[in-house]
Amino acid sequence: MKKIVITDDSSFTRDLLAEFISGEDTKILFASSGEELIQNFIDWDPDLVLLDVVMPGIDGLETLKEIRRLKASIKVVICSAVGGQHKVVAEAMEMGAVACLEKPFNREQLQKIIEECV
């Protein structure tokens, strides 16, 4: 069973992503902030993290740095509205993010990314 963590401060976005990726072979975990993800990361031991860039508190880039420190091989997909965030997305990709999923989400694109990652 693959474990995917959806990290976003918007409950609507978390629910939408979960609806898009739910399946019998997938366990979905939720974090509403970077802090919550970091706090639970070791216990959860996910296969993939979907990570929002803009969040209050620890933003997506700082969260990415910390979870890569905890598990360098973790696959992370950055979720971004991209408009005005091209620099941040580029930095995340340099830090090892495997893909960028643009908001609004496209179910087929998300499913393809997940199939490639886990």
pLDDT per position as a tens digit, 52-87: 998 999 999 999 999 999 999 999 999 987 655 778
Question: What pTM did the predictor assign?
Answer: 0.93
The domain made up of 2-117 has a fold known as Rossmann fold (3.40.50)
Give Cβ neighbours of residue 1 (< 8 Å, ≥ 6 apart): 25, 26, 27
Q: Is the dihedral of CA 71, 76, 117, 111 positive or negative?
A: positive
Paired with 26 in beta bridges are 2
> d(Cα 42, Cα 110) in Å, to the nearest integer?
25
Give Cβ neighbours of residue 79 (< 8 Å, ≥ 6 apart): 8, 13, 17, 50, 51, 52, 53, 100, 101, 103, 105
Average pLDDT along the chain: 91
* pLDDT tens digits along 92-113: 989 999 998 888 888 899 999 9
What is the pLDDT confidence band of residue 24, given thresholds at 50, 70 and 90? confident
